[in-house]
Amino acid sequence: MRLDLALIRGHPGLSRRKAQDVIEKGQVTVDGTTVFDKGRDVPDSATLVWDPNKKSIRRARISLPVLYEDDTVLVVDKPAGLLAVPTSPEATSEDTALARVQDYVRHLRPRKPYVGVVHRIDRDTSGALAFALSPAARPPMRELFREHRIERRYAALVQGDPRGERGRIDLPIHDAYEGGRRRVARPGEPSRPALTLWTVVERFAGGALLDVELLTGRQHQIRVHLAHVGTPIVGDPVYGRGRAGPEGPPAAPRQMLHARLLAFTHPLSGRPVRAESPLPADFQAAIAALRRLAGGRGGGGRPRRG
C-alpha cells in the first residue's frame, strides 16, 4: 500500500492531503526510518509512526527525479549525457549527478551535507544511480555492490539477431583501459571475472530489445560483452558498428542502454528497496522506430515477454 494511504489507515481522521503533507515534512517514519516519499509502497508488516510534534524538515528540491529516498540512501534517475561523477578530482565545476545531489543535500542538511558515491554508470547510460547520504551507509552499500548482492537490470537495444531467447556471457574483462575502450581478456592476460545474463524481450528487423542482468560490475561490461557476441548496443559510439545496412536499426542519439532497476536489502534498516526507472523518451522513440520499420516491411516486433 502507498505510504500516504497506509498512514490514513492508521489515522482515519487524516485527510489525503494532510497525510501527504506530514510525510513531506519528515514527521513519519517507516520501521524507524524517516521517509519523505508519499507514494512509496510499504508492506502491511511495516511499523508507521507519525510524530506531529516533530519539527518539520526543510525540504529542498533536487534537479533529478528521485526513485527512492530515506535518511541514509538516495536513488536518482540519471539522464543520458550527464556524468555520474567528475572526470577528475580537480574538475569541480563539471555538471554531474554527484554535484546535483551534493547541492540538494547542502540545502537539506546544511550542518551535515554528506554524500557518498557507491557505484557509477556511464555518461550516456540513463537510469538508476544510488548514493549514500550518511557515512554509516556508504561502506555497507559499497559492499553490496562489490559482493554483487544488488539486483541490477538494464534495458538494452541491440543490433543483430541474438541466438536463442536468453544467454549467459561469462568472459573476463581485461584490466587495461586503452583509448577509452575495454575488451574481453585473452587467456593469461590480467583480468577480472565478468558475468552478464540477457533475455530477449522483443525482436525487430535487424535488432532486439534485451533485459540484461549485471552479475558483476566491470566498467563497460554490458557494452563489451554484447559487442563481443555480435549484438552491440544501438548507438554505441565505441563498441557499436553504426547502422548495419538497410536491415539495421535506425540511428540513435546515444547508446541505448538504460539502468532500469536497482533492488537490494537496505544496509542499515534491513528493509527491501526496489528503485525502478521508466524508459526515457529517447529510448521509447528508438523502440517505436524499430517497430515502424518492421511494420513497413510487412513484419512486426515479436514480443517474448512483458
Assess contact for 157 and 290: CB atoms under 8 A: yes
Q: pTM higher than 0.85, yes or no?
A: no
pLDDT tens track for 92-148 = 788 999 999 999 998 888 888 999 999 999 999 999 999 999 999 999 999 999 999
Instruction: Point out the residues that are catalytic.
Output: 122
Kindly tell me the burial class for residue 167, based on how many C-beta atoms sit within 10 Å of its own C-beta (0-12, 13-18, 19 or more).
middle
Place of cell 526496489: 274
Query: For position 81, what pLDDT does the model report?
Result: 95
Place of cell 521517509: 35
- Is the pLDDT at 166 greater than 60? The verdict is yes
pLDDT tens track for 25-59 = 889 999 888 888 888 888 888 999 999 998 876 56
Q: Provide the angle, in degrees to the nearest 10, between the axes of the packed helices 3-10 and 16-24.
A: 110
Closest to 211 measured CA to CA, from 291, 153, 167 = 153
284-to-61, 209, 212, 254 alpha-carbon distances in Å: 27, 11, 17, 13
Cα torsion 46, 49, 55, 58: sign: positive
Assess contact for 135 and 73: CB atoms under 8 A: no
pLDDT tens track for 176-202 = 988 889 999 999 999 999 999 999 999
Kindly list the structural domains of the chain, giving each domain's residue range(s) and its CATH number in brackets, ordered by start: 1-57 (3.10.290.10), 151-260+283-303 (3.30.2350.10)
The kind and range of the H/E element at 214 are: strand 207-214
Look up residue 130 and give its amino acid. A
User: Grid coordinates representing 192?
Assistant: 577480472
- Is the pLDDT at 306 greater than 50? The verdict is no
46-to-14, 236, 263 alpha-carbon distances in Å: 19, 43, 18
